[in-house]
Chain A
Amino acid sequence: MSKTVIKATNISKKYTIGTKNSKPQTLAGEIINFINTPIRNFKKIKNLSNSSHANKTNSIWALKKINLNIKEKEIVGIIGANGSGKSTLLKILSKITTPTGGEAFIYGKVGSLLEVGTGFHDELTGKENIYLNGTILGMNKNEITKNLNDIIDFSGVKNFIDTPVKRYSSGMRVRLAFSVAAYLEPEILIIDEVLAVGDASFQKKCLGKMDDVAKSGRTVLFVSHNMESIMSLCSRVIWIDKGEIVREGDPISVVNEYLETSSNTSHTEIDLEQIEKRGGDGSVKFTKLKILNNEMTEKSQFNIGEVLKLLISLKPIEKGLIDSNLQIKVIIKNQNNTNVLNFNNESAGQQFHLLNKTNEITFAIPKLPLGQGIYSISLEAWVNGGKSDTVGNVCVFESIAGDFNGYGISSSDHSMFYTSSIWGQS
């Protein structure tokens, strides 16, 4: 039995959130309100640090009685939807903020990476920033000097190392920052979704580095939305939802259960009308989206090579555009938010016209060519060549191992893409 390095009991965290002021109705009320403003502001700001005085309505529990027991050399992944409390937990364990209740004991030196490049200063050179950022992360000067050449090599910005970082491109900056972090050597490493930086080749390098860290026998606690890296790196996964641990255990079963539950929302049809964040001039509006397989059953997991169908509904808002040319684009992105497939009806040889009612558009990918992973769907509607409505990442689906070519051989290799191929022998 290896020894415990993090032991947390009943960790809870309450945050005070702002409340809306009631608005006065009369001029006199307005004047009194104006005079009282400083007093009210004072009370409000004071309560930010004093959660015990805050009443129930303007406080939320980000974490509720979390218990953790992490052993030496474990690689523990934390998953959960946005706002579930994952980052708050990491912040508490890395001493950035204190819990409202409960306590934790940590045995060993902690290094935390909640952001890459904390403290980077534009006017300092690359090398000076390596030292500044490194000492912020908890290294001392000698440790950095020892690794300096490796850090510079890893970052790939060797030629600019004596240039102020304000002259760097954003990519160079982030690579330099990550390189410093990569050489952090604490006994316990706490990481919050920082792997998604840089271009594809740099990301690969980072994942490789993560693998090394994991194998070097350090304890790692990390939050990620990338289920693939969670499954390949972690020895245990903890799933947090609404501040509570829902499930913990071996990566495959917890991740699968998490994906099933979190994609539940996409089982039913998705209401697009309520989405607030949208682009375009608003002359049409997407209303509904269904994601179906060949049997017309709604689902969110597709085998590679299976049929994926979308049922898209949209309605005209500006009546003057009825009968205008309508173009629909479907964009599929991977977890890194990179477009992997773009479709539109016109390049597929179909012309649409905007109808004076709810327009129903069907779309199908006859054989899903995407390798295993999680993908999201975004939609765009163009009327007469002008962008009218866009909704981004409205639903997710997962591509799982399947038989692309239909010969009964399931593809379990890690191709990113599948397409048919013709072979011969003579």
Chain B
Amino acid sequence: MQKISSQQNSIPNFKELIQYKDLLYFLVLKDIKSRYAQSVIGIGWAVIQPVFFMIIFTIIFGKLAKIESEGVPYAIFSFCALVPWTFFANGVTDSTNSLTSNIGMITKIYIPRILLPISAIIGKGIDFIIALIILVILLIFYKINPGLEVLYIIPCIALLIISALSIGTILTTLAVQYRDVKYALPFGIQILMYSSPIAFSSSMIPEKYRIIFSLNPMVSVVEGFRYSFLGIGVIDINMILSSSITTIIILITSLIYFSKTEKSFADVA
């Protein structure tokens, strides 16, 4: 039995998500196939974006500005950060646009709408894996041999996915009603990139500001990636806690906000 009334849910209906797992699969497939359809380089674009950023960063920040890269070649120092960052930036962008670009699925049929931002994030997973492979090739090229600390990548990836998903979910919910989000997003992402240790190291941030600095979840993710693969990076329990707590707060906020707003999507979209 289903009850229909004006009451709003405050948490997502997880049982229903399981019923729709096949839909999630096909949404991800659609996302991946449509992204690289009718393009010459196809999936190669997943490689080009982080590699070009790496080249530019190496020239500008590594060679010209001579930013300290903790003893490893600047190219791999920045690429190691660009792998999670590219996933984060593209995942947040795609999931933010996921509801407004699928209006028909909101106003003409009922599906658990949270599947749309989720599928956008998962769809970026393939690019992320390709970027990871490039990273491994670079490690071999620079003869860097990570030890057991590479396992630390697992909690870092979890933090990365959860933060991208929850930020994307909040923004896509806002974007249904306020299209401004779509215009503000590219520069918001840009600001976040420069406030994350992509081109520089967190060690350049004065000790007393580091906790505030790492309220940005990407700080711990990026430093974690550097630690896992390169054995460098600033690993500080306070910073990790700071990033994790923000992520959990954002996650809970996003789920509640989404569930409360979901029922009005069809009316305002």
Contacts and interface: CB of A to CB of B under 8 A. Distances in A.
A93 B266 CA distance: 13
Nearest to A106: B2
A103 interface: yes
Determine the main DSSP class of A at the interface with B.
Answer: mixed
Given A102-B5, A124-B33, A96 B177 contact: no
Interface residues of B, number: 37
A95 B261 contact: no
A135 B25 CA distance: 9
Interface stretch (A112-120, A323-331, A340-348): A112-120
- Give the most central of B1, B4, B102, B105: most A CB within 10 Å: B4
A95 B262 CA distance: 11
B30 A48 contact: no
A118 B34 CA distance: 16
A91 B109 CA distance: 8
B26 A105 contact: no
**A94, A107, A118: residue with the most chain B Cβ atoms closer than 10 Å:** A118
Contacts of A102: 5-6
Nearest to A101: B6
Nearest to A9: B5
A174 to B, nearest CB: 14
Contacts of A140: 19, 22
B6 A100 contact: yes
A141 B29 CA distance: 13
Q: Could you tell me the dominant secondary structure of chain B's interface residues?
A: helix
B164 to A, nearest CB: 23
B189 to A, nearest CB: 22
B108 interface: yes
A264 B198 CA distance: 72
A131 interface: yes
A102 to B, nearest CB: 7
Q: Identify which of B6, B34, B267, B268 gathers the most chain A CB atoms within 10 Å of its CB.
A: B267
Nearest to A100: B6
Contact of A106 (B4, B22, B268): B4
B3 A105 contact: yes
A104 B3 CA distance: 6
A240 B41 CA distance: 55
A49 interface: yes
Q: Which of B25, B26, B266 has the most CB of A within 10 A?
A: B26
A40 to B, nearest CB: 14
Contacts, number: 114
B4 A141 contact: no
Nearest to B23: A135
B104 interface: yes
Contact of B267 (A48, A106, A112, A131): A48
A118 B33 contact: no
A95 B104 contact: no
Nearest to A8: B4
A95 B108 contact: no
A131 B2 contact: no
A315 B110 CA distance: 51
Interface in A75-114: 91-107, 110, 112, 114
B131 to A, nearest CB: 23
Interface string B1-16: 1111110100000000
B4 A92 contact: yes
B177 A136 contact: no
Contact of A103 (B4, B104, B266): B4
Contacts of B266: 91, 96-97
B33 to A, nearest CB: 6
Contacts of B145: none
A135 B267 CA distance: 23
Given A49-B177, A118-B109, A121-B30, A135 B22 contact: yes
A227 interface: no
A114 B8 CA distance: 23
19 contacts: A48-B264, A49-B177, A93-B4, A97-B263, A97-B264, A98-B4, A99-B4, A99-B6, A103-B3, A103-B6, A104-B5, A115-B104, A121-B30, A123-B38, A128-B33, A135-B23, A136-B111, A138-B20, A164-B37
Given A102-B5, A115-B109, A119-B109, 19 more contacts: A45-B177, A48-B177, A49-B264, A92-B4, A93-B4, A96-B110, A99-B6, A103-B6, A106-B4, A107-B1, A118-B105, A118-B108, A123-B38, A128-B30, A128-B33, A131-B26, A136-B111, A138-B20, A164-B37
